Amino acid sequence: MAISVEAVRELREATNAGVMDCKRALAATDGNIDKAVAYLQEQGIASAAKKANRETSQGLIDSYIHAIHRMQYFDIKDVDFTNPIAKLRYEDHVEGSYPNFAGPLNCESCHNAGKYNPPDQARSLPGLISAGATLKAGSFRNIGPVPAQITGPAERACGGCHRAAFINEDNASALSVFYAHTTVNGTSVTDTTQASLDAVNFYLMGQVGVWRPTPAPAPVAGAQVESCWLCHKNAGDEHQALFNKWRKSF
């Protein structure tokens, strides 16, 4: 039977389960919401609490992991940049480098070989990038407030490292150009409510052919299929190859 977007959204709001889990549950229960809730609970997927229109307040783990590996300082709100010692400690942290001295290195320390290029959009959904923190009173940086936004999988994952580099160096112009580039060539939605994230996911799942619901999900302003692969299809392979060349030079 055809599963409507409205039914999936209602089930997600009731259970906090993923989109595809909700679709499978509705298919298994002939579209009955109550039975689908019970089905998900039996599978250990549904959460006990209803989250109606909950604000999405946490970023995606892959974005954090890439930023951490690029030595981004996540407690920047606690740094007193008017204190030269605190500022020096911050600079010492962000100028560090990801440990590359034993075992699989660089991208391959986390990814299997050939699996670190831009994500397949049929297998990785858009997600939330958290907003920047407010600095201590009196502290100043060139990079101003950065709002939270919903982005595509490549900007979220691969972009996590690029953003961290600009943030660490306080390069406001480079960060602005990066955001302009990813906005033109991908998804940038500043409404970060759960309802907005669901709408973006429904729309883009239809665009990449993962799901063809009837009626088709309405377009969402700022949401589009990423075109990263047109220019950066083998970016991960190229990064790893450059690293391997650098490593062999020692």
Length of the chain: 250
Task: Give dist(CA 199, CA 23) in Å, integer.
Answer: 15
Are 17 and 25 within 8 A, CB to CB? yes
Give mean pLDDT in consecutive 10-residue pieces for the chain, a chain of 250 residues. Answer: 80 79 88 87 60 41 79 86 92 84 78 82 84 84 88 88 90 93 93 88 88 82 92 89 85
User: What pLDDT is stored for residue 156 in this prediction?
Assistant: 86
Instruction: Report pLDDT for 65.
Output: 79
Q: Give the pLDDT score at 220.
A: 93
Contacts of 219 (CB under 8 A, 6+ apart): 203
pLDDT at 17: 78
Q: Does domain 5-42 fall into CATH 1.10.8.10?
A: yes
pLDDT for residue 109: 81
Give pLDDT, residue 52.
Answer: 34
pLDDT reported for residue 47: 53
pLDDT for 146: 84
Which token pair is 247? 């490593």
Q: Quick one: how far is CA 244 from the chain centroid?
A: 27
Per-residue model confidence as pLDDT tens digits over 144-195: 888 889 999 899 888 888 999 999 999 999 999 999 999 999 999 999 888 8
Sequence-separated (6 or more) residues with CB below 8 Å from residue 88:
none
Pair 103, 31: CB distance under 8 Å:
no
CA distance 130 to 192: 9
Whole-angstrom distance, CA of residue 224 vs CA of residue 243:
32
CA angle 10, 206, 5 (to 5 degrees): 15
Domain ranges of the chain: 5-42, 61-248
